[in-house]
Amino acid sequence: MCGIVAAAASKNIVPVLVEGLKRLEYRGYDSAGLAVISAAGIERVRSVGRVAELETASASTRSVTGIAHTRWATHGVPSERNAHPHVSGSIAVVHNGIIENYESLRNELSARGHVFTSDTDTESIAHLIEATLQTAPDLFAAVRLACRRLVGAYAIAVIDHQQPGKVIVAREGSPLLLGLSDTGNYAASDASALLQVTRNMVYLENGDIAELTAAGVKITRLDGTPVDRPVHVSQLSAAAVELGNYQHYMQKEIFEQPEALANTLEIVGGSKTIQPGIFGAEAANLLADVDAILILACGTSSHSGYTARYWLEAIAGVPCNVEIASEYRYRTSVPNPKQLIVAISQSGETADTLAALRHAKRLGQNKTLALCNVPESAIVRECVLRFITRAGPEIGVASTKAFTTQLAALFLLTLVMAKVKQKLGPAQESAYIDQLRHLPVAVNKVLELESDIKVWAQRFADKHHALFLGRGRHYPIALEGALKLKEISYIHAEAYPAGELKHGPLALVDADMPVISIAPNDQLLDKLKSNLKEVQARGGELYVFADADSEIAASEGVHVLRLPEHYGELSPILHVVPLQLLSYHVALVKGTDVDKPRNLAKSVTVE
């Protein structure tokens, strides 16, 4: 949700700002803008659409100090007047987050003569800082005092042409880090934007404010107390955020899954057993006292949670519930202090998941586990236990490798819980670990189905609706398949547990409604086959993802693709892969913007 880049250096920083925005474009892409300090004052360039447009529009701009932004609209339509930076007097501001008290600030400042020119919440920050600067000793003090009046979430970067050569940044609730180098100092919403200039990163904490100049950085808390934050040398490889030979990030990330799984599972090493310690030093004691699990997540991450519920109850015998974070945080629920709260999030910054976690803790549920792909994220920092999936940066808006690595991590959690609850003998444990270790190879083989899936994709291009069916632990995989298809191809898709079909959705089935079915060779296959017959009898066209040994034959109106091997409990991790490929290729046929689907953005840091 919106990306920020800022720079104070001894060389022209406009190319750095633009390149940084390109890296952050996955966070929002409806408009972009930058502001720099020039001899004449603030020079601002804004454009609706992609960063490429801004690059052209700012081709002749030069400066050593500036701020830049790529937007995902919250307040006000995507338009040039609503694009950041917002300006008040000599001040320009970019912002990621939502200011909840912006209306009262706007009323107050309008009454004092400030003229607003946009519909955004951000503009009130610019005016507030300008007003505060009238009595504050300098820009740093003005931003610090102004931030204390803001309610909501923000990461901001501010420049003032009266005080050239410096950028002030601050964060509360939205991500922001600094990049330090000999030739200048930088800030951005994530490290990928700054790898072009440095690997030395400083993660700001909520309530931190920093002043950047070409010569150095100063960090304090909002009350003015100086703080030291450690410098991390980013291990992120530049290649990890490059497209390489791929056409899209989503395609790259689908094909990176074998490696992402291998990296995530490296923690198990060559061992035949698995220890609670992989979730943190306190895990053994904490998990011993757990009598239930509550998983909180949104979107794709919630689908990994739903899958894990089948594993946790069947293998570990632990009662498990999964709740959509935005629902849980606002409903009156019955807390259980012995319940393990598992927050699952690729970004670790999703506002609803973070708020649901905090809500769970406020209810006295303090046994918390973060399962995230971003180690320094807010959700990781706020949990007692943690497991970092090692999917690498996920840039395509549609989540793929983050999902399969979450599943692998949740299976590890299942094995640990099963051991803690003495439900897992050594032979079974070692067999599961062997299966996990073989996963990257198994996923690689599934990826070889791509050419057949491309042929199927052609048949979906003119469809307006699709139905996904699964049973048991593959029902959440049907949910994930439907989500992928709708978000990148804009085809309306619904997922149902196959047994529910006759309770309503069967009425939708006709020759125009493709029905995609996940049909692994498990104990529910015969039941599923009866459900598929019901579809066939109504003239529905079936697309079945079966296993090599699933007894389902292709026939008129029944298309079957077989995954190379049956994978038992871990089968959901294999079966989601062809669904990712299907939606990717349908989107290609339809010509949609695969990596940046309309209306969406990655890292939903607003409610």
Phi/psi at 462 (5° precision): -100, 10
Instruction: Say whether residue 295 binds ligand F6R (CB under 6 A).
Output: no
Site for ligand F6R, residues 358 to 387, rule: CB under 6 A:
none
Neighbouring residues of 109: CB distance < 8 A, sequence distance ≥ 6: 116, 124, 127, 128, 131
Q: Which residue number is nearest to ligand F6R in terms of Cβ?
A: 299
User: Shortest distance, CB of residue 97 to ligand F6R, whole angstroms?
Assistant: 16
CB closer to ligand F6R, 122 vs 302 = 302
User: Shortest distance, CB of residue 269 to ligand F6R, whole angstroms?
Assistant: 27
Q: Which stretch binds ligand F6R (CB under 6 A): 4-12, 18-26, 121-129, 341-349?
A: 341-349
Phi/psi at 126 (5° precision): -60, -45
Residue with tokens 């943690």: 386
Instruction: Say whether residue 156 binds ligand F6R (CB under 6 A).
Output: no
2, 147, 320, 383: which is the annotated catalytic residue?
A: 2
Angle at 264 between CA 397 and CA 316, to 5 degrees: 105
Instruction: Say whether residue 353 binds ligand F6R (CB under 6 A).
Output: yes
**DSSP designation for 540:** P
Instruction: Say whether residue 58 binds ligand F6R (CB under 6 A).
Output: no
Nearest-10 Cα torsion for 96, 382, 391, 197: 50
Cα separation of 517 and 512, whole Å? Answer: 16
The only residue of 124, 368, 399, 583 in contact with ligand F6R, by rule CB under 6 A: 399
Residue with tokens 């690729």: 346
Site for ligand F6R, residues 223 to 242, rule: CB under 6 A:
none
The only residue of 336, 347, 404, 531 in contact with ligand F6R, by rule CB under 6 A: 347
Neighbouring residues of 554: CB distance < 8 A, sequence distance ≥ 6: 560
Chain length of the chain: 607
User: Shortest distance, CB of residue 455 to ligand F6R, whole angstroms?
Assistant: 24
| DSSP code per residue over 191-237 | GGGTTTT-SEEEEPPTTEEEEEESS-EEEEETTS-B---PPEE----
Site for ligand F6R, residues 432 to 491, rule: CB under 6 A:
483, 487
Instruction: Say whether residue 346 binds ligand F6R (CB under 6 A).
Output: yes
User: Shortest distance, CB of residue 403 to ligand F6R, whole angstroms?
Assistant: 8
Residue with tokens 């990826």: 447
The only residue of 398, 439, 467, 491 in contact with ligand F6R, by rule CB under 6 A: 398
**DSSP designation for 28:** -
The alpha carbon of 90 is separated from its chain's Cα centroid by a whole number of angstroms, namely: 35
Instruction: Say whether residue 583 binds ligand F6R (CB under 6 A).
Output: no
CB closer to ligand F6R, 133 vs 380 = 380
Cα separation of 70 and 47, whole Å? Answer: 10
CB closer to ligand F6R, 217 vs 371 = 371
Instruction: Say whether residue 350 binds ligand F6R (CB under 6 A).
Output: yes
Q: Which stretch binds ligand F6R (CB under 6 A): 201-209, 266-274, 343-351, 444-452?
A: 343-351
Site for ligand F6R, residues 480 to 539, rule: CB under 6 A:
483, 487
Please choose, from the candidates 409, 356, 365, 404, the residue with its C-alpha nearest in 3D space to the C-alpha of residue 387: 409
22, 463, 596, 602: which is the annotated catalytic residue?
A: 602
CB closer to ligand F6R, 491 vs 524 = 491
The only residue of 157, 261, 298, 579 in contact with ligand F6R, by rule CB under 6 A: 298
CB closer to ligand F6R, 92 vs 398 = 398
Q: Which stretch binds ligand F6R (CB under 6 A): 206-214, 342-350, 562-570, 572-580?
A: 342-350
- Across the beta sheet with 339-345, the strand order is 320-324, 292-297, 339-345, 368-372, 385-388
CB closer to ligand F6R, 346 vs 521 = 346
Neighbouring residues of 493: CB distance < 8 A, sequence distance ≥ 6: 465, 466, 467, 468, 481, 482, 483, 485, 486
* Known active-site residue 602: yes
The only residue of 163, 300, 521, 550 in contact with ligand F6R, by rule CB under 6 A: 300
Instruction: Say whether residue 307 binds ligand F6R (CB under 6 A).
Output: no
Cα separation of 329 and 552, whole Å? Answer: 43
CB closer to ligand F6R, 86 vs 484 = 484
Burial of 97 (C-beta count, 10 Å sphere; 0-12/13-18/19+): buried
Neighbouring residues of 575: CB distance < 8 A, sequence distance ≥ 6: 474, 477, 518, 520, 545, 563
* Neighbouring-strand partners of residue 185: 8, 180
CB closer to ligand F6R, 132 vs 389 = 389
The only residue of 124, 132, 163, 345 in contact with ligand F6R, by rule CB under 6 A: 345
* Known active-site residue 596: no
And the tokens for 329?
A: 């945080």
User: Shortest distance, CB of residue 314 to ligand F6R, whole angstroms?
Assistant: 25
User: Shortest distance, CB of residue 493 to ligand F6R, whole angstroms?
Assistant: 13
| DSSP code per residue over 134-161 | TTSSSHHHHHHHHHTT--EEEEEEEEET
Q: Which stretch binds ligand F6R (CB under 6 A): 105-113, 119-127, 347-355, 559-567?
A: 347-355
Q: Which stretch binds ligand F6R (CB under 6 A): 78-86, 138-146, 198-206, 345-353?
A: 345-353
Burial of 284 (C-beta count, 10 Å sphere; 0-12/13-18/19+): middle
> Where on the chain is the footprint of ligand F6R (CB under 6 A)?
298-301, 345-347, 350, 353, 398-399, 483, 487, 603-604
**Which residues are annotated as catalytic?**
2, 602
